[in-house]
Chain A
Amino acid sequence: MSDFEKLINDFKQKIIEAKNSEEIENISSEIFGKKGFINSEFSKIGILSPEDKKKFASQINNGKQELAKVFSQVSSKIKNKELNENIEKEKIDVTLPEKEFKIGKIHPVSQVIDEISSIFSEIGFSVEEGPDVESDYNNFTALNTPENHPAKDMHDTFYLDNDMKTLLRTHTSPVQVRTMLKGKPPFKIIAPGRTYRSDSDQTHTPMFHQLEGLHIDKNINMGHLKGCLNYFIKEFFEIEKIQMRFRPSHFPFTEPSAEVDIGYKIENNKIVIGEGDKWLEILGCGMVHPNVLKNCKIDTKKFQGFAFGIGIDRLAMLKYGINDLRSFFETDYRWLNHYGFDPLDVPTNYRGLSK
């Protein structure tokens, strides 16, 4: 065995005997470093004859490869071992809480507005809006409710001036007037929004939400109205069987007018919508009164249609089992968390309304 071979063997031994990554790093520079064994061996080549040069160089290269092979084996073994030892030591109590996050919520009224919009979108209605402050004309007169008429008593109105000409809208129906005055038929719109009546008790709040519907075209009759509301109610409550009753009523702005009741029963102190021996009024509707159409510059010889008004808060209460209307507007943190909806839970036609 030449001296060189012996040195190689010694180094091999040294590598094999290395105990930890520090030793192995030291050995690495001792052998492969700038001033290490291999390089210093190469530097000896200069003084050799060309023949020996070649021979010795290949000897060094072989030796280097041999060492490198052993080194990589040993080094990875040590590193693995040390990694495992470290991992063993690193232990965190993962049952401690995660970093804080907050889940936001969408108010049930907003969610239900989105659900309703989604349903009416499917049958071609678009969304219109109007201002909360309205003129007496748009809120009453244009809607065929004359001055000093008892029908006004059904609406306890908030006024903004002493002449009672400016008010907070008592229903979303003025949006009908605005929509018809600014456009040309056909109209097929819904209009959700805030409405106001000076009324406050168990079942009334001074502000609530309504959804107006209006469909004006040639030959739209009461059968279309019935079909439209049948469709809506079935889709909204997401149940197959639901009893509905159209009951004649009176609103100054529609004629004939009707109210719609849905069937329900009480089971374990909870309202179950669908079938049963009890009726619950959920909306008012009718064929738009010719006087309203005339006030809105619509040719009543050519166009007619229906309108409806739904209490949004009431629908939300029924669908999601919320008992107290007033709680909608009390901003109780517990209530909002409990009844609110995840912001990613967007009602759509293709996904379905509720999760």
Chain B
Amino acid sequence: MKLTKNWLQDHLITNKTENQIVDKLNNIGLEVEKIEETKNELSDFIVAKIIKAEKHPNADRLKLCKVDIGNSKIIDVVCGAPNAKENLLTIYAPPGSVIPKNQMKLQVTKIRGITSHGMLCSEAELNLSDESSGIVDLDKKYSSKIGTSYFKNDNTNCIELSITPNRPDCLGIRGVARDLAASGIGKLKELKFKKIKNTFKHNIKVSIDKNKNQACSIFGSCVIKNIHNTESPSWLKKRLIALGLRPISAVVDITNYVMFDLNRPLHAYDISKIKNKIIVRNSKKGESFEALDNKTYNLQDEMCVIADDEGVLGLGGIIGGTRSGTELETKNILLESAYFNPEITRKTAKKLNINSDAKFRFERGIDPESIKTGLEVAAKLIIEICGGELSEVNIQQTKKFEKRKVKFDPNIVTKIVGIKVNNSEINKILASLGFVVKKRSKIFDVVVPSWRPDIFSEIDLVEEIIRIKGLDKLDSIYPEKVRLKPTLNYFQRHFHLAQRSVASKGYLEAITWSFTDETINNKFRENIEEVKIVNPISSDLNVLRSSLFPNLIYYLEKNLNRGFNNQSLFEIGPTFIGKKPGDQITVICGIKKQQTDDKHINDKESLDIFDIKRDVVKTLIELGIHKKETTIITNTPSYYHPGISGSVFSKDKKTLLAYFGQIHPGIISDSFGFEIFLENVVIHKEKFKNEKKSLNYSDYQKSDRDFAFLINKKTESQVITDIIENIDDTLIKKVKIFDVYEGENIDKDKKSIAIKVTIQSDFKALNENDLNEISEKIINTVEEKAQAKLRS
């Protein structure tokens, strides 16, 4: 919504400055979005400087000028003026502008083979004087104004408001004036004008069909005949241009003017193009019409149309049609002023994807009592400007609009806003906004003005009162420092810890979209349901992510292209396993890549699976899950390298805690990653929450015994260590693999595994016999359970 102070003053008597008005608008909830210099017909003409003037290669009298038009733009202009020379400050007219003298509209043209972008003007061409022998020669003081408009505008700014959707009344300048007056910044003028007498009967039959879901409930109209449609007078054009509108013809300009002034959309039809009569009815599927935006719309059932015997003329409350549009030649018009239901209008416009000023207003709710006034104001202007005669006003109405009444206990104001507002102030504010307040004992009966479709209940009135009184009047009550429950719950604490735990291992935290590219996602989706976005922002972000890897890998590769050969990235966030609310899990996913040619002088070894495994195991330990509570399973999803990856499960193999391993080389080369499933980690931990034993340790002599077993190549080392650990935990304190060997001297299908076992009793010093006994037991058990053979 735009306005100028000038226009505002048609409705508001005020002595406040523009700045004061702007501050007030902000304070009463009519947010000022921006303030711009108004445009007028001459704003296009800007101060410019000739940088270089050379002879036109194909014409003796013409010059080819390089012109500085400000904002570091230099353009080529062909100019015939003898005084065009270097460093001349002059006035430039760009393509599209209209030369005041001859009303010629400039275009980019070739003049003798050289393209000229616009024109340098003489005083005569600008109607400044009769001087036409050369182009304008401006004083030096203009050198600081290159690029700015030469002609001063009316010193008034265009104030753009961001009107919230609950305030259709403020989509008209009068509505804004009313709010300002209520706030004490001025006085609202009465809407007074001399009505034009009607001289003949309305001779076009109008009817509203009683359809189901009929959007139109009032259709007012009048006929004006024998008009001379023309260009609008200067005052009207100025007003429209100031708001950024393009003047068209008096009739169209006036309907627009009334819309902006009173928030009363109108539509003018050329009567000669209406066949017989006007019917407001619902469309039938298959009907179509060409709208004023020059597009043809195919209508569906139940869209409100204004039609005649031939077919659709326009979409009610949304857009008119080209068939019945007014032109400069139009002699007789029918002026429409109607009420269309907000929801139905919005639905129709949405289905057809039409945005128009009228639709914007009707879907927010137009004052149903403004029908007649709108017609009268517009008719008066048309007849003043275009002449003609006015018919009586015809109003078809199928529904009565009752003014809403709200029972209002004024005490609620203090209860909600915290400060005392007395009844007389409440009364005054409501009255100034157009509410009618009837006191009845302690409860007020408040009648809501017809232009406020947003007011339903007490709380709406509280807002009106405090908005006008000013939020700056509110107390600021210092918060109480009392905690009802812990800030973070058990899961959130683990989220927080996990995030910082992984970051502390050298990973940079990324936050990537929750959606990703379907084709990449499919590689990571496994059996998870695909969740498509019906209206994605782009076709490569069309599904919710089933894994954090797709986006991380995408960005990892982008960083590789930037020359980062050595990267560790992670993200903690949701992945989606279905499309119902809550079908999501929290995953911490890390990815690491090190290109072998980018190795550090003191870092001899290259990245491998055990780096990533260390990160996972250590993070789990930091989250409170000890290695002893977990077991590794070699099955992993297909996006991991089948031979170089593992899953970390709880010891009972029931809870999946994490995956780790090399990412499948078919997806990305030499990269390792992990995924930790935070909900599972926390559920598992909660189960064993209170099982932490008190500290017991032994000070008796510790002994190490080394064993080397020959085992099947396919037997996992974990099998052997598990067997040994389970033999006797009162004696076996630590089992450590220190070598795995395959190759010479060993059968092809065997490998040798060397293990150091730390033996210590909690109760006594072990002698040689005790040690031999337990060693014996270790050897026998391993040989028996793992088809192993002790190497001698």
Main secondary structure of the interface of B (DSSP, over half): loop
Q: Mark B335-361, 1 if CB is under 8 A from A, else 0.
A: 000000011001100000000000000
Determine the residue in chain B with the shortest Cβ distance to A200: B537
Q: Using a Cβ–Cβ cut-off of 8 Å, how many residues does chain A contribute to the interface with B?
A: 93
Is A166 touching B508 in the complex (CB atoms < 8 A)? no
User: Given the complex of chains A and B, what is the CA–CA distance between A125 and B570 in angstroms?
Assistant: 29
- Is A54 in the interface zone, CB < 8 Å from B? no
A258 to B29, CA, bound (A): 8
Residues of B within 8 A of A343 (CB): 499-501, 503-504
Contact between A96 and B602 (Cβ–Cβ < 8 Å)? yes
Residues 95-126 of chain A: 1 if any B CB is under 8 Å from the residue's CB, otherwise 0? 01111111111110110001001001111111
Given contacts A104-B568, A148-B346, contact A250 B508 (CB under 8 A): no
Residues of A within 8 A of B486 (CB): 126
Q: Does A71 contact B (CB under 8 A)?
A: no
Number of A-B contacts (CB under 8 A): 269
Known contacts A109-B511, A110-B499, A196-B514: does B29 contact A227 (CB below 8 Å)? no
Q: Quick check: is B492 within 8 A (CB to CB) of the other chain?
A: yes
Q: A290-B459, A343-B504 are in contact. Are A161 and B513 (CB under 8 A)?
A: no
CA–CA, A256 and B471, complex, Å: 10
| B369 in contact (CB, < 8 A) | no
CA of A336 to CA of B555 in the docked complex: distance in angstroms? 12
Q: Are B500 and A160 in contact (CB under 8 A)?
A: no
Q: Select one of A105, A107, A129 contacting B492, CB under 8 A.
A: A129
Choose among A109, A125, A188, A246 the residue that contacts B474 (Cβ–Cβ < 8 A): A246
Contact partners of B601 in chain A: CB under 8 A: 96-97
CB distance from A244 to the nearest CB of B (A): 9
Partner-contacting stretch, out of A12-20, A30-38, A131-139: A131-139
**Chain B residues within an 8 Å CB radius of A106:** 499-500, 503, 509
Please state if B489 and A104 are interface contacts (CB–CB under 8 Å).
no
B329 at the interface (CB under 8 A from A): no
Residues of A within 8 A of B512 (CB): 329, 331
- Residues 319-355 of A, flagged 1 when their CB comes within 8 A of B and 0 if not, give 0000000001111111011001001101000000000
Q: Is the CB of B481 within 8 A of A105?
A: no
Are B510 and A168 in contact, with the CB atoms below 8 A? no
In the complex, what residues of A have CB within 8 A of residue B363's CB? 150
- On chain A, the residues within 8 Å of B459 by CB distance are 255-256, 287, 289-290
A166 engages B462 (CB within 8 Å): no
Q: Bound complex: CA of A186 vs CA of B480, how far in Å?
A: 14
Contact of A340 with B534 in the complex, beta carbons under 8 Å: no
Smallest beta-carbon distance A246→chain B, Å: 4
B763 at the binding interface (Cβ < 8 Å):
no
Interface 1/0s, chain B 429-466, versus A by CB < 8 A?
A: 00000000000000000000000000001011011001
Minimum distance in angstroms from B758 CB to a CB of chain A:
28
For A344, the closest partner residue in chain B by CB is B504
A250–B166 touching, CB < 8 Å: yes
- The docked-state distance in angstroms from the alpha carbon of A304 to that of B413 is 13
- Is there a chain A Cβ closer than 8 Å to B714's Cβ? no
Cα–Cα distance between A337 and B568 once the two chains are bound (Å): 11
Q: Are A148 and B475 in touch, CB under 8 angstroms?
A: no
B478 interface contact, C-beta 8 A: yes
Interchain CA distance A346-B513 in the complex, whole Å: 25
Closest residue of chain B to A150 (Cβ to Cβ) is B165
Contacts A194-B574, A227-B476; A104 near B508 (Cβ below 8 A): yes
Q: Is there an interface contact between A246 and B484, defined as CB atoms closer than 8 Å?
A: no
Verify B508–A333 contact, CB threshold 8 A. Answer: yes
A42 adjacent to chain B (CB < 8 Å): no
Q: Mark B8-43, 1 if CB is under 8 A from A, else 0.
A: 000000000000000000111101000000000000
Residues of B within 8 A of A97 (CB): 600-602
Q: Measuring CB to CB, which residues of chain B are less than 8 angstroms from any residue of chain A? A: 26-29, 31, 164-167, 342-343, 346-347, 363-364, 415-419, 457, 459-460, 462-463, 466-467, 471-472, 474-489, 492, 496, 499-515, 531-537, 541, 544, 551-552, 555, 558-559, 562, 564, 567-570, 573-574, 576, 579-584, 600-603
